[in-house]
Amino acid sequence: MKVTLATPITALPRVGKVLTRRLHKLGLHTVEDMLMHYPFRYDDYSTVSDIALLKPSTNATVRATINLLANKRSFRRRMFITEALISDETASIQAVWFNQPFIPRVLHQGDTVYFSGKVEQTPYGLQFTSPSYEKAKKEQTHTARIVPVYSVTENLTEKQLRYLVKLVLPLAKNIPEWLPDHILKTHSLVALPRALHEIHFPTNLRMLEKARQRLKFGELFLIQLKTQDIRQALHSLRAPAIQFHEQLTKRFVSALPFTLTANQKKVAWQILRSIEKTQPMNRLLEGDVGSGKTVIAALVMLNVAANRYQSALMAPTEILALQHYKTINTLLKQADIPIALLTRTEKRFRGEKTTEKKILTAISNGAAKIVIGTHALIQDMVTFSQLGLVTIDEQHRFGVDQRRILKQKSPELTPHLLSMTATPIPRSLALTLYGDLDLSLLKEMPHGRKPIITKIVPPEKRERAYGFIRDEVGRGRQVFVICPLIEESDKLGVRAATAEYEKLQRNVFPDLSVGLLHGKLKAQEKERVMNAFKAHDIHILVATAVVEVGIDVPNASVMMVEGAERFGLAQLHQFRGRVGRAEHQSYCLVFTDSTSEKTTERLHALVTAKNGFELAEMDLDLRGPGEIYGIAQSGFPELKIAKLTDLDLIQKTREAAESIFSVDPTLDHYPMLKKQLTAFSQELHLE
């Protein structure tokens, strides 16, 4: 049978039903899948040493002859021990393996074998402990070279995977090079077939690095091409031209109970200028927690309404949607703009509770000029009359399909898109994940805000912290207490929050009012608790991560986080942003029982980072992007070899993609590149 890239792995030698199931677990179904399954690290066994030169506590490779080989059973340790005496021209050494009784069936006395592994000192001299081994032959696979180490699954060995990859590696020459010649030359990249050979079985470390660079470049370049493709598609669409109403805007700004910062004015003007054009705006407004994004959104929606178009604002939670509804109603009260709220449980219009039918009618006939809601806005039954602006808050929480559905709610023109996030995004991620968006940054905090003092509280100082909280409540302030998940089955962290609530109310603060807020409460109960907290009827609010975004209680001055090691830095920063929203000094008290050095380092970053942007860079390095930004649902591809910390390479691929699209936006002169981009888009369900 002729083996091709599309050949199923079942057709390969030594691959039976059991091995097939194990390979399928890794997503390996075809020969091409095997070639694209890159090693995650390498063991450098390329230097072969003389036995006489071996030193303890080092990794080494020797070429030796087996003098003696035997199994023995250790009843005390309940295991098989395999021992071998091996020698070369310079000396002898013992090799020992545990619970591998099959070795004497593979290796025999007199065989010349390469052994690679850890050399240890024992009372009887130096010894190889559980070394890798491979009989000496013309070309080694598992020893005496730079050895690839792959991700494997249960009962699948590295040796099995290496054997199969090496078996199909000659077919790498059939994978066509899709990068244009001038890009390969400009960036000194090796051709794809050579890169695949070197990434699996490197000739040397220099060629391994060249292979990495080529494959990284290819991954990032495709993302940048797709970004340019999306931008190009946007340029062909028509959006409503939203004219700037200067006098109306001035009246709105002068009526605000606070003064806009210079940064807020600059960002608002960027957005207003963008929506004047008939090309759809596609902009990300990125601002630290409490930097004033909502007031900018309200100002822009005011201008959209003045042009007789509708605005939709989608938020990830009912609590945040309700918060936006109340805030924007207050901000636009003088303008008398009809505002609707649509969530699974809340339907309001012009400040009054109403029915879903009346809300849907007001949206479809254009009576509702601003519509605020959750995922409920993307239901089939929701149709807009003239949708001019879509604003998505905490946009990384929505999948790419959800964002697209809302944008398609306009029957004729494409609405402008304003995405907002309070999760600061490192520059490398902004250039890749959000490369199709124009970026507006709010780095300046509103006037009068004091930096929040953050402290990591060790277990022995817990009682002292409780005393500090009591003092703050005595000054008229209020407190948040955040609880993490305590087990996987408790997805919302309800058990932890309930237990903490009962402990604080009964044992620690029996004389104070303690409230409880979590995701399983009904919407009316959530609103009742939040209203009581805002009215100062609740001194201490125990909550789950449901308060991560959208809760605005200026009187709260203490954020206490339990089990901080269970949260990422970006999420802890979001929690901290729930306090410090007024002129009084605020504090974030971080509790952890973990003694891990890594946890300590991560939490210390929360104390020392000057702002959320600096913290986001640290979080990206420590945890990777997937955990922070919900990338799995955003339409972003899983990177196999590149990293989002490869900032220099990201910049190069972006410039290369822009240069190609500037002269050939249809890629007609690059058929292989066009084919690769189409396949990439289909893989991401973007076609």
- Written as one string, the DSSP assignment of 152-216 is --TT--HHHHHHHHHHHGGGGGGSPP-S-HHHHHHTTPPPHHHHHHHHHS-SSHHHHHHHHHHHH
Mean pLDDT of 100-127: 95
Residues of the chain with CATH 3.40.50.300: 246-442, 453-629
Q: 246-442, superfamily in CATH?
A: P-loop containing nucleotide triphosphate hydrolases (3.40.50.300)
pLDDT at 408 over 70: yes
Lowest-pLDDT range, 24-38, 232-246, 376-390, 410-424? 410-424
CA distance 683 to 687: 9
For residue 271, give the 3-state DSSP assignment: helix
CATH class, 453-629 region: alpha beta
pLDDT at 606 over 60: yes
Mean pLDDT of 519-529: 84
Residues of the chain with CATH 2.40.50.140: 47-144
Quickly state the pLDDT bin for 75 (edges 50, 70, 90).
Answer: low
pLDDT at 560 over 50: yes
The larger pLDDT score, comparing residue 599 to residue 510, is at 510
The larger pLDDT score, comparing residue 411 to residue 143, is at 143
pLDDT at 632 over 50: no
Most confident of 379-393, 542-556, 561-575: 379-393
The pLDDT assigned to 630 comes to: 47
The pLDDT assigned to 602 comes to: 83
Quickly state the pLDDT bin for 397 (edges 50, 70, 90).
Answer: low
The yes or no reply on domain 1-41+153-175 and CATH 3.30.70 is no
* Mean pLDDT over the full length of the chain: 88
CA distances from 631 to 374, 395, 597, 644 (A): 20, 11, 27, 12
Quickly state the pLDDT bin for 115 (edges 50, 70, 90).
Answer: very high
CA distance 275 to 254: 23
The pLDDT assigned to 675 comes to: 94
Q: 47-144, superfamily in CATH?
A: Nucleic acid-binding proteins (2.40.50.140)
**pLDDT, tens digit (0-9, with 9 covering 90-100), for 452-508:** 999 999 889 999 999 999 999 999 999 999 998 655 556 556 668 889 999 999 999
The larger pLDDT score, comparing residue 414 to residue 546, is at 414
Residues of the chain with CATH 1.10.150: 1-41+153-175
CA distance 251 to 474: 40
Tell me whether strands 387-393 and 339-342 are parallel, antiparallel or unpaired: unpaired
